[in-house]
Structure formats: C-alpha cells, structure tokens
Structure 1
Amino acid sequence: LKENNIKHLIRLSNDKYPTEIFTAEGIQFFDWNFADGDSPPPNYLSAWFTLLESLVPQKDSTSNTEPPIIAVHCAAGLGRAPEFVCCALIEFGYSPEEALAKIRQCQKNALNKKQINFVLAYKPMKKRKLSIKDSSCIIL
C-alpha cells in the first residue's frame, strides 16, 4: 500500500486484522463496517465525503504533488466498496448511471439489485465545490 502512495485505508467489512501495521506506516485507517448487502449509513457517507473533499485538489492549485490515494475494501469487493464509491462519484458530479457504468467497467458483477436501486435513487447530500471529474479517479 505504501509503495502505491495509499495514505488512507477504509474497511467496510467485519474482517479482522491488526490495523497497527498500516498506521505504523503512516496510513490513516477507517473502520466503517456495515452489513453485507446493505447500503452505507448516512454518517459513514458524510465522513467519507468530508475525507474526499479534504483531499481533492482545487482546480486552481499550483501544487505538483500527487494527491494521496484512498483504498476502500469490503469482503469480496462486489457490494459495499463499489456502492460506497458510486455514492462518492455521484456526490462529486457523476449521474447515478455514469457511476454505475464506471464501477461495472472495472467489476462486471458488482452490486446486487438492492444496492443498484440505492445508487440509482441516491441524491447528493450537498452542493460540492469540487468535482471528482476534475481529478483522477481510478477504480481497480
């Protein structure tokens, strides 16, 4: 993770592993577990968007430093993590359909019907000044 400039790790599952190995390397760790197949709680989404907003460079920024990378994972990578990322894409400028298409380009079987419906119905929490479309977003 450190070699790939990952500065933040978000765990959305109840996987148990020691977090100290990450924090000792300067990686900020977030443990935002919610049930498999469910949609993310609003408080997790709010914290997620606050984190993203603090990291997305301003359009007029003259900094040449690479923005830190955030790794988001769940147990299988098919539900919670893709849904979480879809909500962020929508929050920062994508339509629900664009967000789903971007996720599905990378993970064809991502999201169950309930999660897809949640994404399609998702409305941004607030008007954001920043846009992920203005930044780099890579989904693996």
Structure 2
Amino acid sequence: MDAPARDNASDYALQLSMIGVKHLVRTCEGNYDERVFESKGIKIHDLYFQDGTVPSRSKISVWLNLIKETFIEKTSIVNENQYIAVHCLAGLGRAPVLVGIALIEYGMESHNAISLIRSNRPGALNSQQVRLLMSYRRTKTLTSKSCCAIW
C-alpha cells in the first residue's frame, strides 16, 4: 500500500484496525504520527531500504521472522486473526517486493506472484525487483497458509 500521510493517517489506522491489522511494516520514512496507529493497537516495524532497490538478505530475514511470528508461531488466542500491512511511498516497489517474497515463501511460483501483485497494483515492481522475485528461492521457513490482501 502507499504511505499514510499526516492528514490521512487516522483514516488508514481506522481501516487497518477494522480488518485486524496488528503490524504495519514501513519501508520508507514515515511522514505521520506513529501514535495514531499505536492507539489502534497497530505496532510499527521499520524495514527501510532505498526506493527502487531490493531488500538485503538481512531485511528479508527480518520480514520473514515477522511473518513467522505472526502467522505460524501462534502461542495464544491473542494472536488469532492478526494481519500485517506493509507500505512504501507509492505502493509500487518496496512494499510489493516484500509481498512477493512472502507469496513465494508460501509456495506460489514467482511469475504467479508477480502477476497477482501487478493485477492489484498496476505498474508495481521495476526490473530489478522482478529479477529478485524470479530468482528468489524459498527458505521453507513458512509453511502455514494464511490470508493475503493486496491494496
């Protein structure tokens, strides 16, 4: 998704909380008050990397650990029905590449993940990001099936 701004952060926070988002991953600098999201029970995770690039292996590892903790290592009923939202500035590069990695980790073929993302976000993913997704190999850390929504 694209980045919330000061004037619409409360709308984003309300919409995300209504669908059960408990984690907001931000891949760009935040231009909004984090407390707006925290007041709705949404924890912000900074996973910044440069616009137009791909995440480093360490960033991918952090991303996969968050997914694993949220969807696979459910240790209590409190963790039921939690979702993750991820945003970059325009919602066309950094966020979609992380979503693509997650889809591939859950067993989707690279080209299908790219097609799904682009059908929901026309213009998403530059050539460098597509190359990463096409060459990305599953780590087999994520095996549980969960829901994915792309805005």
TM-score by shorter chain over 0.5: yes
Residue 72 of structure 2 contacts residue 142 of structure 2 at CA under 8 Å; is this kept in 1?
no
Residue 139 (structure 1) aligns with: 150
User: Secondary structure of the residue that 2:25 maps to in structure 1?
Assistant: strand
Overall identity of the aligned pairs, in %: 37
* Cα drift, residue 12 of structure 1: 0.5
Superposition CA RMSD, Å: 1.9
- Alignment of 1:20 onto 2:11: no
User: Secondary structure of the residue that 1:56 maps to in structure 2?
Assistant: helix
Residue identity matched to 2:27 = L
The TM-score normalised by the length of structure 1 is 0.84
Which consecutive aligned stretches of 4+ in structure 1 deviate over 6 angstroms post-superposition?
A: none
Residue 102 (structure 2) aligns with: 88
Task: Give me the whole-angstrom Cα distance separating, in 2, the residues matched to 1:36 and 1:129.
Answer: 26
Deviations 1:7-55 (A, max 9, x none): 1001111233221222232211101111000001212211111111222
- Alignment of 1:108 onto 2:122: yes
Q: Structure 1 residues 129, 73: closer, same or farther in 2, change over 3 A?
A: closer
Residue 105 of structure 2 contacts residue 142 of structure 2 at CA under 8 Å; is this kept in 1?
no
Residue 5 (structure 1) aligns with: 20
* Cα drift, residue 56 of structure 1: 2.2
Task: Give me the whole-angstrom Cα distance separating, in 2, the residues matched to 1:130 and 1:67.
Answer: 17
User: Structure 1 unaligned runs (5+)?
Assistant: none
**1:50 aligned to which of 65, 68, 87:** 65
Residue 6 (structure 2) aligns with: none
